Amino acid sequence: MIKTKKEISKFILDNGMSNIVSIYGIGSIAKKKDNVGDIDLNIFLDNCDYDSIVQINSLKLYLKEKLEKDIDFNIIDMSIVRDNLLESDIFPHKNRHSLFLYELSILDCLIYGEPLLDGIKFDKEDLKKECVKLTLTLVQRLNKEMLTKMSDRTPINGRKFSKYAIEFAMISRGIKNPYFLSSSEVTNVLQVIPEISEYSELMEDILNCKTIPLRDSYNFIRHVSLILKADYIKEFSK
Give the residue among 143, 148, 169, 168 at the shortest CA–CA distance from 158.
143
Architecture in CATH for domain 2-113? 2-Layer Sandwich (3.30)
pLDDT in tens, 94-105: 556 788 888 888
The one-letter amino acid code at 218 reads Y
Q: How far is CA 181 from CA 134, 202, 203, 222, in A?
A: 19, 14, 11, 20
Q: Is the pLDDT of residue 182 over 60?
A: yes
The share of the chain scoring above pLDDT 90, in percent, equals 47
Q: Stretch 160-168: mean pLDDT, rounded?
A: 94
pLDDT in tens, 36-83: 678 889 999 998 899 999 999 999 998 989 988 888 888 988 988 888
Question: What are the residue ranges spanned by the domains of the chain?
Answer: 2-113, 124-236
**In a 3-state reduction of DSSP, which class is residue 137?**
helix
Number of neighbours of residue 83 by Cβ within 10 angstroms: 11
**Average pLDDT over the chain, rounded to whole?**
88
**pLDDT of 2:** 80
**pLDDT of 84:** 80
Task: Report yes or no: 219 and 108 within 8 Å, Cβ to Cβ.
Answer: no
Q: Could you write out the DSSP letters of every residue in 142-176?
A: HHHHHHH---THHHHHHHHHHHHHHHHHHHHTT-S
Q: Stretch 109-134: mean pLDDT, rounded?
A: 88
